[in-house]
Structure formats: structure tokens, C-alpha cells
Amino acid sequence: MIGKTHLHALALGSCLLAAPAFAQSVNLYTTREPALLNPVLESFTKDTGIKVNAVFLKDGLQERIKAEGANSPADVMLLVDVGEINAAVDAGITQPVKSAIVDKVVPVQLRGADDNWVTLTKRARIVVVSKDRVSQDAITYENLADPKWKGKFCIRAGQHPYNNAFLAAYLARNGAEKTETYLKALKANVARKPGGGDRDVARDIQSGLCDIAIINTYYIGLMSQAKNEQKGWYDAIKPLKTTFANGGTHVNVSAAAIAKNAPNKDNAVKLIEYMLGEKAQAQYADGNFEFPVNQAVKDSAAVKLLGVVTPDTTPLADVAKNRKAAADLVDKVGFDN
């Protein structure tokens, strides 16, 4: 989620460091929605005495830090999507996160190469079906290619980042040839041209246009609380336990990295460690129906609604590496045409 630049958001590093009321500070650059992060950041300051100077950016975060160079005031980057956080690594603006708490809480497959980023929360991409017309309770991603779903499958564009990450995960597991065959089979099953949003596929299930679709879990949570027609879309769908064959569930993440030239590196580590603690994990994850990465948090809103999700063991760093190849295959088969 993204939002306007505010909450201590200041343009220059020299201004960011001007925090006379606090002995210590940490500077956060993020593309997340302020309303989602503010409660956690305020709790961190209250519990540690460290002020968070947060810069909320719609886009261009990596470019800004790179342009600021060695004098960048950025300590921590917090981004949504493994591709975005991996792009920060590729841009050379991160450094390893060295922390015993990270090592204990965050599984290796949910960290970047050399621990250059760490997952804070997860969101799963799962299959939903018509509650009235489909009886099964579990499915594999591979089963979406079954001809029995011909004319019944709805999905947003294959080139959308959510589907790109999913298809990159499929590619990392199965190779290019099998992924191309899979894409052709999915295309043969679509009820309409791929497009729209994740909420739209739930709407289309309610209308009878399709019986099965793929969706990010947090949209299910948000629709469950809606006060408009989206509540009806939620009521029409049934989430299925969704995994790869002989694997786990595909997840994408919100993740944090320490800036290469962080002036407050120790406090940067403290902020990341705090956000992995049980209190902050519950607070942060519940704000957007995401799954906490800390397994000690048992009763998050997403878990209560959808049950426990076991992430696939394919390293997310490998998923990020395969995103361009997955996008090329989508174009090759004309998936979005």
C-alpha cells in the first residue's frame, strides 16, 4: 500500500537528523501506507526512546537513495514486493542485516541473498472458488491448468506484479518449458480476458462469470470487513488451501533492508528487530490482513480468517531473479491478449 509523504517526512538529510526532543533517531524510507505503519512506529518510539523520521514515498525510493549517495540519511528501507526489495539490492544501496533475532525469527527462504533484506510480513496468493458451485476445499496451483476449469477461471493480468511474482515462483520450481505449457493451459481456461483487480475476480465469481480465481489473501480480509457491495463478493467465495504440488503456498512479502550508508545503523537494526517482535508483528500484520513472519504470533487476523499458511521453500531471492523471464513467457504466449 502507498500513500502521501508525511509523518516527520522531511526533504533533506540534515533536516531528518534534527530531532531535538530525542537523544537518538532512525530514518525510515518506505512506500507503505502511513496509516498502516504509524501505530508500529509510535510504539517503537514509546518503548525504545528512539525517534523514527519516516519518509513516505509513492515511488522512486531506490533512485532517491542512490542519488543521495554517501550522504544519504536513510537508515532503513521498507518495501512491498520481493521484486522491489531485490531491486534495492541490485542498485547497491543495501548492506547485510546482522542480527541473532533475524536469524531466529525469519526463515532463510524469506531473506535476501547474504541477508541483504528480511521479511516482516507475508501475503499469500491463493485460489478462491464459488462457495455455491465448487465443493472442494484444497487445490494445487498446478490444478488450475486442468481443462475442467475451461471457461471458468478468472485472473488479473499476467504482467501484474502479483501474478508476475507467482509465475516467477512457478518458473523457479519447474523451468521455462513447463511454465510456458502451464501458461498456455491457464489461458485456455480463462472466462474473460485477464485484467482488473483481485477484488474483481471475487465480483465475477458472485456474478457467475467464473467459478475459480486466484487472489491475494489480504483482499479477502479487506472484503470481509467491507460495508458496501464488496461484502457480497466476499460472501460468494470460498478460499481453498492452496499449495504447489509437493510444496507450500506462494507468498510475497513486505521486507526491510538497511541502507548501505546508514548513519544510524545500530538503531536501524533495533527497528527491524522490534518489527519482528510479537507485539509489533500482530499490530503491523493485522493492519492489512497480512501474515506475521514471527511464528509465535498465533492469532493474527489473517490466521483467524484463513488459517495457517506454510510458505513454499523456494527462496524468494530466486523468485525475484526469475521475474523478467516469467514476464517474457507471458508475452510469448499472449496471455494478456
Query: How many distinct structural domains can be found in the chain?
Result: 2
Annotated binding residues for Fe cation, as ranges?
A: 218-219
Residue 23, pLDDT score: 77
Q: Are residues 158 and 241 in the same domain?
A: yes
Are 160 and 229 contained in the same domain? Answer: yes
Q: What are phi and psi of 181, to 5 degrees?
A: -60, -40
Q: List C-alpha distances in Å: 191 to 19, 102, 131.
A: 56, 44, 18
Q: Among 220, 228, 185, 183, which residue's Cα sits nearest to residue 199? A: 220
Q: What are phi and psi of 39, to 5 degrees?
A: -60, -40
Instruction: Answer yes or no: are the C-beta atoms of 152 and 282 closer than 8 Å.
Output: no
In terms of Cα–Cα distance, which of 156, 283, 162, 289 is closest to 222? 289
Residues 163 and 245 in one domain: yes
Buried b / exposed e over 198-236, threshold 16 CB at 10 Å, is bbbbbbbbbeebbbbbbbbbbbbbbbbeeeeebeebbeb
Return d(Cα 53, Cα 75) in angstroms, integer.
Answer: 10
Q: What is the structure's pLDDT at 16? A: 43
On whether the CB atoms of residues 57 and 22 are closer than 8 A, the answer is no
pLDDT per residue as tens digits for the range 64-96: 999 999 999 999 999 998 889 999 999 999 999
314 in a structural domain:
no
Contact 98, 116 (CB under 8 A): no
Look at the block and give the residue holding cell 542485516: 97
- Per the structure, the complete domain to which residue 225 belongs is given by 124-249+319-332
Q: Is residue 18 part of a domain?
A: yes
0.75 exceeded by the pTM? Answer: yes
Q: Which residues contact 319 (CB under 8 A, 6 or more apart)?
A: 82, 165, 168, 169, 172
DSSP element (H, E) containing 305 = helix 301-306
Q: Do 112 and 257 meet the contact criterion of CB atoms below 8 Å apart?
A: yes
pLDDT in tens, the chain (337 residues): 334 333 344 333 334 444 445 679 999 999 999 999 999 999 999 999 999 999 999 889 999 999 999 999 999 999 998 889 999 999 999 999 999 999 999 999 999 989 999 999 999 999 999 999 999 999 999 999 999 999 999 999 999 999 999 999 999 999 999 999 999 999 999 999 999 999 999 999 999 999 999 999 999 999 999 999 999 999 999 999 999 999 999 999 999 999 999 999 999 999 999 999 999 999 999 989 999 999 999 888 999 999 989 999 999 999 999 999 999 999 999 999 9
What's phi and psi for 227, nearest 5 deg?
A: -110, 10
The pairing of strands 241-243 and 138-140 is: parallel
**Predicted pLDDT of residue 219:** 95
pLDDT of residue 14: 35
Question: Are residues 204 and 324 located together in one domain of the fold?
Answer: yes
Each residue's pLDDT tens digit, 239-281: 999 999 999 999 999 999 999 999 999 999 999 999 999 999 9
Binding site members:
218-219
Shared domain for 189 and 135, answered yes or no, is yes
- Domain CATH number, residue 156: 3.40.190.10
Q: What is the CA radius of gyration of the chain?
A: 20
Q: What are 107's three cell numbers?
A: 526463515
pLDDT for res 1: 39
Question: Do 323 and 221 share a domain, yes or no?
Answer: yes
- Does residue 114 sit in the same domain as residue 142? no
| Domain match, 245 and 302 both | no
117 and 135: one domain? Answer: no
Helices 34-48 and 278-286 meet at what angle, rounded to 10? 160
